[in-house]
Amino acid sequence: MHASKLHHNGKLIEELKKLLNVTFKLKDLGISISQRHYTLQILEVVGLLGAKPMNVSMDPNVKLRNFDQDLLSDPSSYRRLIGRLIYLTISRLDIVSSVNKLSQFVAKPCKAHLSATHHLLGYLKSALGQGIFISSAETFQLRAFADSNWASCPNTRKSTFDFCIFIGNSLVSWESKK
């Protein structure tokens, strides 16, 4: 879109807001980005619409390993599920670390890995509409946070690194990697 069209559209949006505000007393709070419908689709495809909601994305007592005994007979279904969850991380920062950990096992997924993934789906069920909120009443102060954990992976002894970037109070970028 050309800059002149964007400017024109912005003016029209502002005029509409003013007109509606005269009658309804509107307050522009911002934009909410959620993948609720997509999350429901994942739960339906996996057959876990009736799953018990969970309070945490991963059970902290479960230690996942590369070389567990009970390999899945069809690893392609696990791989597709992890792919869907990776796409879901676009709007769900709260699952990035868990999905990152579970995606490490796509080569040879085991029943324990699938069970941990189902636990994550129970967590998603407990907060279907959660996503990103970008407020309209913020300053444009740029803030960034980072964290690292030296040799924290029990399988490879590699370190992990996470960061997130905010403009005002709105999360705009994040990453979690080994």
- One-letter amino acid identity for 61? N
166: pLDDT strictly greater than 80: yes
Poorest-pLDDT segment among 10-14, 53-57, 87-91, 130-134: 10-14
- Taking only the tens place, the pLDDT of each residue in 99-120 is 989 999 999 999 999 999 999 9
Cβ atoms of 92 and 33 within 8 Å: the answer is no
Both structure tokens of 80: 């597709």
Average pLDDT across the chain, whole number: 85
- Domain span holding position 131: 3-177
Cβ atoms of 35 and 91 within 8 Å: the answer is yes
- One-letter amino acid identity for 82? I
* Residue showing tokens 């796509």: 106
Burial of 123 (0-12, 13-18, 19+ CB in 10 A): buried
pLDDT over 70 for what percent of the chain? Answer: 92
C-alpha separations of 22 from 12, 45, 141 in Å: 16, 46, 31
Give me the mean pLDDT over the 114-129 stretch. 95
Residues 6+ away with beta carbon under 8 Å from 111 = 68, 70, 72
Position 141 scores a pLDDT of 83
Q: Which helix (H) or strand (E) holds 149?
A: strand 142-149
The one-character DSSP state at 116 is H
Higher pLDDT among residues 153 and 175, named by residue: 175
What is the tally of structural domains in the chain?
A: 1
- Taking only the tens place, the pLDDT of each residue in 52-97 is 999 999 998 888 888 767 999 999 999 999 999 999 998 898 898 8
Give me the mean pLDDT over the 150-163 stretch. 79
Count CB-CB contacts under 10 A for residue 19: 11
Position 117 scores a pLDDT of 97
The one-character DSSP state at 108 is S
Q: Determine the Cα–Cα distance for residues 178 and 159; give it in Å rounded to an integer.
A: 6
Predicted TM-score (pTM) of this structure: 0.71
- Taking only the tens place, the pLDDT of each residue in 21-37 is 888 776 777 778 889 99
1: pLDDT strictly greater than 50: no
